[in-house]
Amino acid sequence: MGAYSRTVVLEELPSGSRARIVEIMGRGGWIYRLYQMGLTPGVIVDVVMNIGRGPIIIRVMGVEIAIGRGIARRIIVEPINT
Amino acid sequence: MSQSTHKKEYEIAIIGQPNVGKSTLFNILTGRKARVANWPGVTVEVHEGETDFDGSRIKLIDLPGIYGFSTISLEERIARNYILSGRPDAVIVLVDSLNPERTMYLAIQTLEMTEKVVIGFTKSDAAHAHGVHINYDLISKRLGVPVVPVSAATLRGIRSLLRTTIDVARGRAGRKKPLRIDYGELEPYVSSVESLLKQYEERMEYPIRWMALRLLEGDNDLYKYVRGVCGDDIAEEIVKIREEIKRIFRRDPAELLAKKRFEYLQRVLGDAIVRLEIKKGGFERFTRLFYRPFIGPVLSLIILLGMFMIAFTINTGFPLNILLDSLGMHDAASAVEEYSIGGLMEKLFSWISSWITNSFGESWLTDLVANGIISGVGSVLIFLPLIMIVSLFLAILEDSGIAPRMAVSLHGPLSKIGVSGHAIFPMTMSLGCNVPAILATRAIPSRSERLRLLMTLPFIPCQARLVVILAFASSLVSGYGALLVVLGYSAAFLAFAVVNKILYIYEKKKTGKKEPEIILELPPIHRPLGKVLWWHVWDNSKHFLKKAGTIIFSLSILIWFLVNVSPSLAITDNPSDSIAAVFSHYLSPIVYPIGIEPGKAWIIAFALLIGFIAKEAVIETLTILTSTASPQQALMLLGLTASQLSALTVFVVLYVPCIATIAVIYSESRSVRHTLATIALMLGVAYVAMLITYGLSLII
């Protein structure tokens, strides 16, 4: 883990980076779907692909998931240096 | 449960998260003899089937694929209510061997509801190849639940799964009580709710602890239920406890509980699963192209377009015949057309028709059989190969994991018209048939997007409408025929895009909604199983054949009578004296604006009216009304100009697809208003588009 922790939103993470989920903000049905897919605080996500537009591809618990940018903006993460 | 009941019949539910291979396994277990269960008040398709095992009859219920038991979707609600109803003797929860860490979440949730659970690990044959090694015994011991590895590809474990399930149903294996997870610092709150509910235990239909957990997670359905049973005071108390968790932990209790469940799962699976890193295959890397801007959407469109081109060529020779024609290879072009499957079948049906007339002599009965039934049903049946080929392609895309990647690639372009990448599945299915496409919108997370799609999906031409377009096209010189097909599809997608955009803008103004969102799992790319592909193809073909055998068959007879019987109930040779003609004269004016003369207008009007029931029927109506053998001859006889044909094509493509689609729009929206609005919208858009097409084609 990095020497200091700072938080960013998932949307800002580049391809190939890794981070720990800190918080998921907002409400609505989609948030329950995220929980069910294993995206809860403390869980580690790998960014498979983020090209600055279109859905972000992440890997959580070995499963690849595409997530829209609006949702990715509401997932607060703490980058992990690898 | 202490007593072991030795019933001869068991009802077993199968559930699993999406992509774990549930449907495939269900089909194997039931030997493909499943049918759609008719559950009162439920419109979600639930399949059930039977199998015999060791002298016991097992009724299997295939519940919809869900991620969990919250009540955010209709599917989740149905699965949950069924499991809680006490009807199933046991529940088989399927878990994906390739990613048990995620897919076992559903098993954990099920175990909190009921103890009668068997866990099946699917794709067990592929696990080793993917570097996943699972200690099934250890997992089974930790959970106290039987765990059976199975494989749909090698059929390993199928019998063992059935045997274990019966053991659980009889109470000879498995847990004695539902699973109790230690929720740590949340336990005091859970027990508070539990003790509130305990006072009413006798009147409760569900397990108390499970209810307490779900209430803390904010389950609205259950909250209403509890308020009904226990009264407002208890309900108020529960809300207070929930609020307290929020205040102290500054988190949504649903999030905290989900996190605890995953942590528990980690403790169960942790050292029971060993993963070896396996290098990504070249094809896997190729599929990353779908995520690229520009390349991704183009790739997806090429696949879809290519798929339909191949299907069309095999079936009708189009568009290869036109290509050859334009290259000057006229003989090859006509050969491709003549020896296409459609061409050959058409020959067969007209041969049967003339054989009947020749051998049994001319009478009204032979006319009914030859010109009514055989040419009516035949004009539709020639499209069976097309339906089989398109179904095969769609099944390949779906089963290989390419389809969700296409959804991701097209999410960007689609969100411009207010729909998400999720919409690509129902949109593609619509090209086959609108009915399953409308059912497929259930997977779309946004309700408003779903309602918009219910209204607009029917614009996308199904194969029935393709049948009409191709028949119209075949009556034109080949080059123009191709243009007509392009026109039909362009009009459809333009209408789909424009209407969606307008509805989206209107909704944005009203509710301030933001851009469409996507949350979509991307299962690993894999080679589809041959038998699964065949099931898809056969199911679609069966549906089509059934329709041809029932609706189209009865319509053929009905239309023949309406066309050959006069209002005074005498048989007439002159269609313009018939009941159909007399009645349709009132409708004729609708096609006057595109310059169709009154003498022929009633034929068109009547065909369009019949088209409400099923679109294929437009063609058979035209053939029967003109008493010709083929759609080409019918259209030739009607002497429609290219402009009129174009305008009619656009109308046929855009107006109400069929009765079945309307019925399913109603059952899905459960709103008469929404359904009527859809019909009005389609008729309005179709009519205006028809007039515009006619006007434009006259200018050109």
Instruction: Report pLDDT digits (tens) over B203-260.
Output: 888 999 999 999 999 998 899 999 999 999 999 999 999 999 999 998 889 999 999 9
CA distance B14 to B28: 13
Domains and CATH numbers, chain A: 8-80 (2.30.30.90)
Query: Could you tell me if B96 and B17 are in contact, meaning their C-beta atoms sit under 8 angstroms apart?
Result: yes
The proportion of chain B whose per-residue pLDDT surpasses 90, expressed as a percent, equals 39
Given a cut of 60, is residue B43 above it in pLDDT?
no
Answer left, alpha or beta for residue B72, where phi above 0 means left and psi between -120 and 50 means alpha: alpha
- Residue of B348, B433, B442, B350 whose CA lies nearest to B391: B433
pLDDT digits (tens, 9 = 90+) for B528-558: 888 888 888 887 788 778 877 787 788 778 8
- Rg of the Cα atoms in chain A: 12
| Mean pLDDT, range B150-174, rounded to an integer | 93
Q: Which residue of A has its CA nearest to B292?
A: A51
pLDDT for position B190? 96
B435: tokens are 């009915």
Q: Which residue of A has its CA nearest to B406?
A: A66
CA distance B220 to B226: 10
CA distance B626 to B578: 12
| Mean pLDDT, range B446-473, rounded to an integer | 88
B76–chain A Cβ distance below 8 A for any pair: no
The contact set of A with B (CB < 8 A) is: 24, 27, 29-38, 40-43, 49, 51, 53-55, 57, 60-71
B497: tokens are 């895009």
pLDDT for position B367? 82
B421–chain A Cβ distance below 8 A for any pair: yes
CA distance B441 to B630: 37
Instruction: Write a three-state SS string for B207-232.
Output: CHHHHHHHHHCCCHHHHHHHHHHHCH
Contact A66 B408 (CB under 8 A): yes
The shortest CB-CB distance from B421 to any of A37, A55, A60 is to: A55
Task: Provide the chain B residues 504-543 that lie in CB contact (below 8 A) with chain A.
Answer: 514-524
pLDDT for position B91? 97
* Chain B residues closer than 8 Å to A57 by CB: 291, 408, 522
pLDDT for position B410? 93
Lowest-pLDDT choice from B13-27, B128-142, B320-334: B320-334
CATH 1.10.287.1770-classified regions of chain B: 184-275
* Chain B residues closer than 8 Å to A38 by CB: 101-102, 105, 262
CA distance A78 to chain B (A): 17
Most confident stretch, A16-30, B18-32, B678-692: B678-692
pLDDT for position B33? 67
**pLDDT-flagged residues of chain A (< 70):** 1-5, 82
* Chain A residues closer than 8 Å to B291 by CB: 49, 51, 54-55, 57
CA distance A3 to chain B (A): 26
pLDDT for position B7? 62
* Chain A residues closer than 8 Å to B421 by CB: 55, 66
The shortest CB-CB distance from A32 to any of B254, B517, B520 is to: B254
CA distance B41 to chain A (A): 23
Q: Which long-range contacts (CB under 8 A, 24 or more apart) does B507-511 make?
A: B507/B418, B507/B448, B507/B452, B508/B418, B511/B448
CA distance B300 to B309: 14
* Chain B residues closer than 8 Å to A60 by CB: 102
pLDDT for position B36? 57
Higher pLDDT, B335 or B608: B608
ipTM of the complex: 0.92
- Picking from B291, B300, B446 by the largest number of A CB atoms within 10 A of its own CB, the best residue to mutate is B291
Contact A65 B445 (CB under 8 A): no
- Picking from B96, B519, B520, B521 by the largest number of A CB atoms within 10 A of its own CB, the best residue to mutate is B519
CA distance B67 to chain A (A): 6
Contact B291 A57 (CB under 8 A): yes
pLDDT for position B280? 66
- Sign of the C-alpha dihedral computed for residues B126, B128, B131 and B132 taken in this order: positive
Contact A36 B258 (CB under 8 A): yes
B296–chain A Cβ distance below 8 A for any pair: yes
pLDDT for position B45? 64
Contact B412 A53 (CB under 8 A): yes
B411–chain A Cβ distance below 8 A for any pair: yes
Given a cut of 80, is residue B176 above it in pLDDT?
yes
| Mean pLDDT, range B156-178, rounded to an integer | 93
Query: Could you tell me if B616 and B380 are in contact, meaning their C-beta atoms sit under 8 angstroms apart?
Result: yes
* Chain B residues closer than 8 Å to A31 by CB: 252, 254-255
B71–chain A Cβ distance below 8 A for any pair: no
CATH hierarchy code of domain B184-275:
1.10.287.1770
CA distance A30 to chain B (A): 7
Q: Which residue of B has its CA nearest to A51?
A: B292
CA distance A2 to chain B (A): 23
The proportion of chain B whose per-residue pLDDT surpasses 70, expressed as a percent, equals 96
* Chain A residues closer than 8 Å to B99 by CB: 61-63
Contact B105 A32 (CB under 8 A): no
Contact B517 A51 (CB under 8 A): no
Other CB atoms within 10 A of residue B341 CB = 18
Query: Could you tell me if B260 and B108 are in contact, meaning their C-beta atoms sit under 8 angstroms apart?
Result: no
CA distance B356 to A53: 64
The shortest CB-CB distance from B99 to any of A24, A30, A63 is to: A63
Contact A27 B67 (CB under 8 A): no
B98–chain A Cβ distance below 8 A for any pair: yes
CA distance A57 to A48: 5
pLDDT digits (tens, 9 = 90+) for B385-444: 877 888 888 888 888 888 899 999 999 899 999 999 989 888 988 887 788 788 778 778
Look at strands B46-53 and B56-62 and give their pairing. antiparallel
pLDDT for position B12? 95
CATH 3.40.50.300-classified regions of chain B: 9-169
CA distance B212 to chain A (A): 18
Q: Which residue of A has its CA nearest to B258?
A: A35
CA distance B430 to chain A (A): 23
- Sign of the C-alpha dihedral computed for residues B690, B696, B697 and B698 taken in this order: positive
Cis peptide bond upstream of B523, omega within 30:
no
pLDDT digits (tens, 9 = 90+) for B560-602: 888 888 888 888 777 778 888 888 888 888 888 898 888 788 8
Q: How far is CA B402 from CA B16, B244, B405, B441, B527, in A?
A: 21, 46, 5, 19, 10
Q: Is the domain covering B9-169 a CATH 3.40.50.300 domain?
A: yes
Query: Could you tell me if A70 and B515 are in contact, meaning their C-beta atoms sit under 8 angstroms apart?
Result: yes
pLDDT for position B414? 93
pLDDT digits (tens, 9 = 90+) for B46-70: 788 889 988 899 999 999 889 998 8
CA distance B75 to B68: 10
